[in-house]
Amino acid sequence: MNCAEFSKLTQWTCTPAGEASVRVISPISFGDSGHNIAFYLAQPSAQTFYLTDACEAAMQAEQLGIALHKSRLEALNDTPGVTFAHFAQDWSIEASGPISCVQTGLWDAVKLALALSNKSNRWRPRYEQAKFSAMILRELQAQLGADRVIREAKVQGASGHMIEFPAAIKPSNGPLIYVQPVALDNNRVSWPSIYEFHGKLFDLKVASQAQNRVSIIQAIEGEAKEFDRAKDFLANASTVYTSNQLTEFVAAVEFA
């Protein structure tokens, strides 16, 4: 792989990276990270090419707090107009094919990196939700003891998928109790979050007859019909407490 020729053709930065391999850095940034999209490009033979980003785009996304899971990988691999490149199961962007198609493969890989970059804002965790979950976790640890609070607890739902909850509690007796904090958005109910969390809780409800699901919804200032509707909706899939009822929840756990 000739770096001088490659740079002349593409205006990318190119440096040697081992035998028959180069590192190529595009002039295109991954979102606002300041990190330019880059790949390792190799020639396994005179007639073929192989490239990978060695998971760099995925690592940039993870640094933004984005959860990388199978459904998102599948969505990205459905990006229109991409033929040679794909996200592998380890989240590396890879492409391969005849050397005559190397430019197409390279730009297909760029399209996938940009697809992930463009979805970053939508997939980034909501700040209020993350902050509220952390607060609930700290309070539960303070009242129950850190040894009885499991972070990022996973359990299999009726769908067969593994479901992750921010916390699970080890009660005095019985199975683990999975806890889903539910934050408000500027003191208003976030229905997209309510639907998402209800889906998780209901999946677990169908899988287990035990009363092992709790929602803790952020207390609202004043009365609000929308807030009550959200509580009633979540109650179809879990026991519901407000954040100012944590002491009651802890007492219920102690006497479970």
CATH class for domain 3-123? alpha beta
Which tokens is 239 given? 């026991």
Q: What is the pLDDT along the chain (256 residues), one digit of tens a residue?
A: 667 777 776 778 888 887 778 899 998 888 877 789 999 999 899 899 999 999 999 999 888 778 788 889 999 999 999 999 999 999 999 999 999 998 899 999 999 999 999 888 777 767 678 888 888 999 989 988 888 898 888 988 888 888 899 989 988 777 888 999 988 877 778 888 888 899 989 988 888 766 777 888 888 765 578 888 888 999 888 888 888 888 888 888 876 5
- For residues 226 and 194, the answer to whether their CB atoms sit within 8 Å is no
CATH for 127-254, options being 3.40.1350, 3.30.750, 3.90.1690, 1.10.3470: 3.40.1350
Domain(s) of CATH 3.30.1460: residues in the chain: 3-123
Give the Cα separation of 51 and 104 in Å (integer). 12
3-state secondary structure of 152: strand
Which tokens is 177 given? 């109790």
- For residues 117 and 31, the answer to whether their CB atoms sit within 8 Å is yes
3-state secondary structure of 164: strand
Domain(s) of CATH 3.40.1350: residues in the chain: 127-254
Report in angstroms the alpha-carbon separations of 254 from 159, 169, 172, 176, 251: 31, 10, 6, 13, 5
pLDDT of residue 223: 56
- For residues 30 and 113, the answer to whether their CB atoms sit within 8 Å is yes
